[in-house]
Every structure is written in structure tokens, then in C-alpha cells.
Structure 1
Amino acid sequence: MFISNLIKVGGCLLIFAHVHPLLAYAIVGFGAAVYSPAKYGILTELLPAEKLVAANGWVEGLTVLSIIFGTVMGGALVGDRVSAVLLGFDMPLIDTGIETPTQAALCVVVGIYMLAALFNTRIPDTGCKYGHQERNPIKLITDFANCFGLLWKDKLGQISLGVTTLFWGAAQTLQFIVLEWANRTLHLSYEQSTSLVGVVAIGVALGAVISARFITLRKSLTVIPVGIAMGVIVMSMTLVHSVKVAYPLLILVGLLGGFFLVPMNALLQHRGHVLMSAGHSIAVQNFNENLSILTMLAMYSLMLRAHLNLDIIILLFGLFLAGTMLYIMRKHQQNQRAFDSVALIGEAKH
């Protein structure tokens, strides 16, 4: 985690060296991709299985809040008022070379990454020791493929992985749908529409906290019907033409999403920890989620290119979400009839 934050710092600093911003941003993204499995994986090393849902609730809730805060802060940093204050700082006898609002904003971002790296050094040693980790690219790919297959074949892993994969693909696509819907149906500017996306995020944070309070790991699979309800409520967006109604509706959509995401994340971490390591399972999870995001955004883009009515797109999206969650629920019921996989929840690492 410490090293991945330093990678992010390095990516930001490359911009000062006049490296193409896309390359610098890719390096920052690489650091973030490395950080995610470690961030969630370490929870299974620090906490017993029964506390994973609560821990995930805090992590997801704080992550969403930090995204909202970061978005607001990013806009402020490049604004005239804040950038003027930042550029007004000077160091005696030292020419910093910081001359533009973008450079000043990047300095703040670098400072935050460095602060996060310092926090990483205060995380206690979990005492977990892993065997030799492969560095050969071919063996790494083979190992990843084995973990990929193992998690999808596991009766609990396939359900939790299916839900989280669907959620993140749907969540990212929903952001673009909400922006377009707010502009076309509610007649808001794109600047005003972004507040509605923030409202969904607030709902996700609330749902995550509520789920952490009331759902245990053993009851994690009972939240699957909530995903079906989320799809149905998304379809009701086609009936809304008032901003006053849109806000509570989108908070509800986000709340339902956060409520069923947190237990599924916790269950996936637990099964990953038992079958391989939580870090390996989260790497598989991130791969599936990013693939889902790319696929669903591509489908949304194709529907826009085909000039489909936005209400039709929303109905198809909600129907797909509800239908897929219904299939996952029935798949779990089928698994349970063959073998009581829920009894495996809480078992120790093999």
C-alpha cells in the first residue's frame, strides 16, 4: 500500500517533467489498481470474518464520501480563487517553478498521496506471511487465470462476484444515464446535473452504513432481492419529470445499491481469503468489474448511436439489472438445493 501510493506520487510528478499527461495518469491508475486489492485484502488479516461486513460498510461509506469531497476539492483547486491563494505561496531563495493553477493543484494532490503513504506506515503488522510470490509475467497470468476459475466455480464466490461485477458496471453506466436524463428530462444544465450524480453517491454511502449496522456475514446473501428492487426503481425514472422527486428517488437508488454491495464485498473477501488470498480474489474482482464497466458503457454508447429514446434506454437498463439479479438469486437457490454452501460462511482458511 505504501509503495502504490509512492507510484501515484511518481505519476503526478511526471507531469512536472513534461511527460504526456495520459502516460502520467496511466501510472497513477496503475498505482490505484495495485492499492485496491491490498486495501480490501488486509481487512481479512486484521479482522475476524464476522466483522467484515461492518468493516466494508465503513470502507465503502468513507470511499464514497472521499470521492464526493475529492470531486468538489478538485473543482475548487482549479478555480480562480483557490489557485490564486496557492500560487501566492512563496519560498524564500527557492524558485519552485509552480506557475499555473494546474501545477498548484497537482502539488496539493501529491501532498495528499504522501500523507496517505505516511498513514500506511502506521498500519500494524498483521502477522500473515505468504509464500514466494511469482514475478514471471507468464506465471503471474497463469496464477491469475487459476484464481479466476477457482472463484467463479466456488458456489459462494460466483454469487458474490456476479453481484459486485454487475453493480460496478451498472453504477458507472448509471452516472452517464443520470447526466443525460437530468439534461433532457429535467432540463438541467450539465453543471447542475452533476449534483444528481453526487446525490446517488450520498445514497450509496448511507446504504453502506446501514448495511454494516444490520447485516452480518452469514446473512449477506439475503440482500440479493434488494438488487432486483434497485433495477425496478431505476425504471421508474421514466415517470419522473420534477427535480424535487428526482433527488429522493436517486438517493433511494444509491441507498439500495450501497446496502447490497457491502455484504457481497465482505463475502467475496471471505471466500477469497479461504480459497487463495483476499488480495488475489480482489484482483479477480477488479478485473471483472472493469470488464463489466467497459462492456456496459459500450452498450450504452451503441444505444445512443442508434438514437434510441432515453426512456427506452432507462427501461432496458433497469430491466437488465433486475433480470440479472433475479437470475443470480435463482442460481444461488439452485446451488443451495444441491449443497448448503451458506454453511461454509465463516470457515477458516484452508
Structure 2
Amino acid sequence: ISLAVTTLFWGAGATLQFIVIEWGAQQLGYRLDQASILMGVAALGTIVGAYLAGKVPLKKALSVLPMGVAMGLVVLLMPFVKSTWAVHSLLLLIGATSGFFVVPMNALLQHRGHVLLSAGHSIAVQNFNEQLNILFMLSLYSLLLWLRLPINVIIMIFGLLVATMMLVFIYWNKQNHKRDPLLSQCIGEEGHGKALQEC
């Protein structure tokens, strides 16, 4: 679950940077330098969200999954804001929700990767998946631009895609816990490379 979520996050994050710049130019009439500042505002929100996420214990990491749905839904509000304060507030909120849910997921991924594989193996798998998804989502964004879809339509597609995928991951997580009610007890266990030792 954590690998799927972080993979989605990095792909969505990379695409969102380009979307925000294009949105700033088309919707808000910003120059490139002004639109670039918007990413700094979103990054500030991510810092705040990451700080707050630091208070979430590892065993509760999966409880932040709904924040991913919230991020996708908040993105859907982008076409409806115009004023500077509303734009900045919305981007701060998008950044905060993304930072709040990705930090516990990264912590869980690194922990389970260390227990089941090794630090090197888990990081390699994580980076491969993340870069592959970045390539996929940027290709999808390029296709939508090539089709000359308005940026607000692209934003709606993007937000719905993220929210829907997060709902799928939440359902997947619930099914995993139904099959194995003791699954959550594995979070925080000690060990190293268990999956490799079994091979």
C-alpha cells in the first residue's frame, strides 16, 4: 500500500508542477515567474503538512490515507479561484494535505522495506516505481495538452484520478486487513531482509 501511495504521490507531484504553471498562465494571467511562485506556496504547505505528519506514530501511518483523497478533491477547486489570497490559500491546502499523507507513507515504506528486503533493495524498488509513474503521468499530461483540452478540464481529470486511486488504495488496505486481522501488528516489528531470507 505504502509503495503504491508514494508512487502515485511523486507522479502526481511532478505533474502538478506543470499544471500549476500552465494554470497560472491561462486561468490567472500570470507570467512564468509569477506562476513559478505558486509552486513555492504549495511547497510551503507541504512543509507544514510534513511537520504535522511527524506527530503521527508509525503504527497509525495507514490512518492518513483519506488525506490523499482530500488532496485530489481540493485540486478540483482550482478552476474556481481567482483572487490572490484564494489561490495561495488553496495551494497551501493542497501542499499541506499532500505533505501530511506522504510522510507517514514514506516512513512505513522504509520500515517495511527494511524488514522484508533491505534498505538498498527497498529504495531501488521505490525509485524505479516512482520514476516510472512520473514518466506515465507526464506522458498523460502531454497527451491531454496535445488534444488541446483546456487546463481546467485537465485539472478536473487530474484531481478525480488522484482521488479515485486513493479510494482504490483505501479499499485495498481494508481488504488486506480483512484477510489478515493481525496485519497491523507487523508494523513496527524488528528484523531485516525476511523476504530475502525466505528465498
TM-score, normalisation: structure 2: 0.94
| Corresponding position: 1:260 with 2:90 | no
Q: Kindly provide the CA deviation profile for residues 209-266 of structure 1, in whole angstroms up to 9, marking residues without a partner as x.
A: 1110x20000000000000000000011011122221001001100110100010000
Q: Which residue of 1 aligns with 2:166?
A: 325
Contact 1:186 1:243 in 2 (8 A): no
* Counterpart amino acid of residue 172 in structure 1: A
Q: Deviation at 1:279?
A: 2.2
Q: Which residue of 2 aligns with 1:284?
A: 125
Q: Which residue of 2 aligns with 1:188?
A: 30
* Counterpart amino acid of residue 156 in structure 2: L
Q: Which residue of 2 aligns with 1:310?
A: 151
What is the aligned-residue RMSD (CA, Å)? 0.7
Distance in 2 of aligned mates of 1:297 and 1:243: 27
Give the greater-gyration-radius structure (CA). 1
Distance in 1 of aligned mates of 2:97 and 2:120: 27
Q: Paired residues, what number?
A: 191
Q: Which residue of 1 aligns with 2:13?
A: 171
Distance in 1 of aligned mates of 2:66 and 2:2: 13
Q: Kindly provide the CA deviation profile for residues 75-115 of structure 1, in whole angstroms up to 9, marking residues without a partner as x.
A: xxxxxxxxxxxxxxxxxxxxxxxxxxxxxxxxxxxxxxxxx
Distance in 2 of aligned mates of 1:205 and 1:292: 23
Q: Which residue of 1 aligns with 2:61?
A: 220
Q: Which residue of 2 aligns with 1:15?
A: none
* Counterpart amino acid of residue 271 in structure 1: R
Structure 2 residue matching 1:186: 3-state secondary structure: coil
Q: Which residue of 2 aligns with 1:245?
A: 86
Distance in 2 of aligned mates of 1:272 and 1:244: 41
| Corresponding position: 1:206 with 2:65 | no
Q: Which residue of 1 aligns with 2:74?
A: 233
Structure 1 residue matching 2:28: 3-state secondary structure: coil
Q: Which residue of 2 aligns with 1:162?
A: 4
Q: Percent identity?
A: 51
Distance in 2 of aligned mates of 1:178 and 1:170: 12
Distance in 1 of aligned mates of 2:79 and 2:85: 15
Distance in 2 of aligned mates of 1:283 and 1:243: 41
Q: Which residue of 2 aligns with 1:118?
A: none
Q: Deviation at 1:344?
A: 0.5
* Counterpart amino acid of residue 280 in structure 1: H
Q: Deviation at 1:206?
A: 1.0
User: Residues 102-121 of structure 1: matches in 2 within 5 Å?
Assistant: none
The structure, 1 or 2, with the larger RCO (C-alpha pairs under 8 Å, 6+ apart) is: 2
Contact 1:203 1:254 in 2 (8 A): yes
Structure 1 residue ranges (4+ consecutive) displaced by more than 2 angstroms after TM superposition: none
* Counterpart amino acid of residue 184 in structure 1: Q
Distance in 2 of aligned mates of 1:174 and 1:242: 20
Distance in 1 of aligned mates of 2:117 and 2:162: 30
TM-score, normalisation: structure 1: 0.54
Q: Which residue of 1 aligns with 2:197?
A: none
| Corresponding position: 1:342 with 2:180 | no
Distance in 1 of aligned mates of 2:80 and 2:123: 38
Q: Kindly provide the CA deviation profile for residues 141-199 of structure 1, in whole angstroms up to 9, marking residues without a partner as x.
A: xxxxxxxxxxxxxxxxxx00000000000000000000000111111101111100111
Structure 2 residue matching 1:336: 3-state secondary structure: helix
Structure 1 residue matching 2:189: 3-state secondary structure: coil
